[in-house]
Structure 1
């Protein structure tokens, strides 16, 4: 994380927390003389998606704070605030808890690929139903990559 990333995170974390959201990440990219600052926020304690109203409510104070942040200087930027989205990788225990009941595709560090439904999880493991009635316990530390699979019903 760069000093700019750290300064932004430190400045906006209280705003996000006050909205009862979690600051999932910050991404800064450049396009010539212009910057794009992407802020990813998510709910702390529910599987419900963020509403447009919630994103808008947190965007305004974040924008005002960034406008005053000296480390950004005079270089113009565009602010994008959103939720991580379905393609965001599951990396932390809270990601697994938030996605309980959803279909996940994993690549284990051993090279094995596992697809199944997240039944439950804790800080160290996830219970994955790979076929009806067959559940496996996977150590989160053994997972190289995991993403939610989109299901169409």
Structure 2
């Protein structure tokens, strides 16, 4: 006999497909006399083959309406009241399926291998056979990684991949440092053109002693 999660999944899979999305996960828990139904929707796998992206808020809202109507029309939850939560995958969602990896293209990930090893790199390519990762190993005890390792491509078949975890980046590797330099030069130029503090003080106290609002 299927579990309640599986039964709800059976009801909602086609509904979410018709909304143009993919049903990623369903969990049903109890909160007192009420059930909480959490549904995670993702972009369809065919769209993931083209380019990475995220589910829009409008798409989530459309799916939520369709899911609510389907649950109300079904007896899968019985007569118990329920609270519905529909969302898209968060950055902490483990990468366990090929479509998860397609969503993560260009992102920095930690890959857990089935042989017990792991590596850190940027997802470059994803296809039916596996994933291509460009190594981006972290520094160890303050020592930078070997230059020969940085950017080295590693091809992994799906059978070699246990899971992946997207890493939080405060600065992307493809950020252009020249942009920061240009910003700094622009700030310096503004500082040079700005009037000195004494001039500002004189201006602020003109016009019958009324201070200008900044």
User: Structure 2-normalised TM-score?
Assistant: 0.66
Aligned counterpart, 1:134: 152
Q: Are residue 36 (structure 1) and residue 36 (structure 2) matched?
A: yes
Q: Over alpha carbons, which structure has the higher Rg? A: 2
SS in structure 2 at match of 1:75: coil
Alignment partners' CA distance in 2, 1:123 and 1:94: 10
CA contact (8 A) 2:15 2:70 kept: no
Aligned length: 153
Q: Deviations over 1:60-84 (max 9, x none)?
A: 1211111222121111111110111
Shift of 1:152: 2.0
Within 5 A, what are the aligned runs for 1:55-74? 55-74=60-79
Shift of 1:48: 2.1
Q: Deviations over 1:83-132 (max 9, x none)?
A: 11111111111111221111111121222121100010112311110044
Alignment partners' CA distance in 2, 1:84 and 1:2: 25
Shift of 1:30: 1.5
Alignment partners' CA distance in 2, 1:145 and 1:13: 24
Alignment partners' CA distance in 2, 1:111 and 1:121: 22
Aligned counterpart, 1:98: 103
Aligned counterpart, 2:163: 145
Q: Structure 1 residues 72-81 or 12-21, which shifts more?
A: 12-21
Q: Structure 1 residues 84-93 or 8-17, which shifts more?
A: 8-17
Structure 1 segments (4+ residues) deviating >3 Å: none
Aligned counterpart, 2:56: 51
Within 5 A, what are the aligned runs for 1:105-116? 105-116=110-121
Shift of 1:5: 2.4
More strand per residue: 1
SS in structure 1 at match of 2:64: helix
Q: Deviations over 1:37-57 (max 9, x none)?
A: 111101121422222211111
> Is there any run of 5+ residues in structure 2 with no aligned partner, and where?
137-149, 172-214
SS in structure 1 at match of 2:36: strand
